[in-house]
A and B are shown apart, each in its own frame.
Chain A
Amino acid sequence: MWIGGYLVVSALIFSIGAAGVLVRRNPLVILLCLELMLNGANLALVAFARMWGGESGQIFALIVMVVAACEVTVGLGLIVAIHRRRLPIDVDELRELQG
């Protein structure tokens, strides 16, 4: 099983996610693209774990998944809180988190 294929797919996913983070302005979409990037990195980690035989890569991938879930939780909580204050959901308008 040629590992390079997985690396190509992982790089593709990662760069699509990075492009999304940079170009879009809705914070929900930006969070989604961040998840894409994390998933791309996970794929690369698991591919390398298969290549080298140790399971450390899979463990790392699981921890990355935990971190990604936490970050999504906090990010969505932020968006809900912002929406409650009736501020516009647009990353260019939201400059400070005070209050």
Chain B
Amino acid sequence: MLLRAEFVAAAQVIVYAGAVMVLYVFVVAYVGGGTEPLAAGGRTLKILSPLFAIAVAAELCIALLGTALSGVSGKGAQFVLGFGTPRHIGQLFLTRYLFAFEIASILLLVSAVGAVVLARRRRGLEPEIEIERRVHIPRPAFTGTMAEAAGTRHAEPGLPELPSAGEAELEPTGAAAGPKAGEQEQSSPPYQGGW
């Protein structure tokens, strides 16, 4: 705000302290923010990366103290009334930088969709125990489960008996446990599809 950038300052506070940090807190709470394992970084990498970091910092210092500080004038430019207000920035956004504005909004949309896609559940990849536990819960009838719609599979005559067919008989799917109208399915291995 000392630089007459009130809108940028306000936007930064709202976006960073409000959104980014809150996201971080949620993800750390979910993931657990584990302690870093110490060894196994590789000897060369452990020595080289701090050196490289110091090299970057030193290079920036040289660039700054060498030429940049002398090339920068002490006084700022003439102060135009309304510099940095949302009105000026909005005008610039909508006239001269319109393309950047639109691309930024498309980028936001794409990244929001991408984050949702990344974090959704994918059934096929869970360990077996989860699938066992999940499948043997009796589903309520007429709720539109896939087993109701498609019917449970029959074991073909002649094929060897599938191992879970025995225990699956004890808990038929919800609709089959209900009316049994026209449904003569023998309970074969329950539906274990992905989505």
Do A and B come from the same complex?
A: yes
- The CA of A63 and the CA of B7, in the complex, are separated in Å by 13
Q: Does B165 reach chain A (CB closer than 8 Å)?
A: no
Q: Does B142 contact A (CB under 8 A)?
A: no
Give the contacts of B29-85 with A (CB-CB under 8 A): 30-34, 36-37, 40-42, 49-50, 52-54, 56-57, 60-61, 63-64, 68-69, 72-74, 76-78, 80, 83-84
Q: How far is the CA of A49 from the CA of B80 in the complex (A)?
A: 12
Q: Render A40-83 as a binary contact track against B, CB cut-off 8 A, 1 for contact.
A: 00100011011111011011011101111111111011111101
Residues of chain A lying within 8 A (CB to CB) of residue B149: none
- Residues of B within 8 Å of A78, CB to CB, are 118
The verdict on A51 contacting B73 (CB below 8 Å), with A25-B36, A77-B119 known, is: yes
Q: Once the chains bind, are A59 and B97 in contact (CB under 8 Å)?
A: yes
Asked if A79 contacts B20 (CB within 8 A), the reply is no
In the bound complex, residues from chain A placing their C-beta under 8 Å from that of B16 are 35, 39, 65
> Does A19 lie at the interface of the complex (its beta carbon under 8 Å from any beta carbon of B)?
yes
Is B137 in contact with chain A by the CB < 8 A criterion?
no
Q: A59-B89, A69-B15, A83-B30 are in contact. Are A19 and B50 (CB under 8 A)?
A: yes
Chain B residue with Cβ nearest A29: B36
> What A residues does B4 contact at CB under 8 A?
50
**Chain B residue with minimal CB distance to A85?**
B125
Inter-subunit contact B53/A18 (CB<8 Å): yes
Bound-state Cα–Cα, A79 to B5, Å = 34
Are B11 and A65 neighbours in the complex by a CB distance under 8 Å? yes
Partner of B34, one of A2, A26, A51: A26
Query: Which applies to chain B's interface (DSSP): helix, strand, loop or mixed?
Result: helix
Chain B: residues with Cβ within 8 Å of the partner, total of: 68
**Contacts A7-B69, A79-B31, A92-B41 hold; do A70 and B53 have CB atoms under 8 A apart?**
no
Question: Total A-B residue pairs with C-beta atoms closer than 8 Å?
Answer: 172
Q: Is there an interface contact between B57 and A3, defined as CB atoms closer than 8 Å?
A: no
Asked if A59 contacts B93 (CB within 8 A), the reply is yes
- A/B interface sample: 24 pairs, CB < 8 A: A1-B3, A4-B64, A11-B61, A15-B53, A19-B57, A22-B52, A23-B49, A32-B24, A50-B4, A55-B88, A58-B5, A59-B97, A65-B11, A65-B16, A66-B108, A69-B19, A73-B23, A73-B111, A73-B112, A77-B115, A77-B117, A80-B27, A80-B119, A83-B31
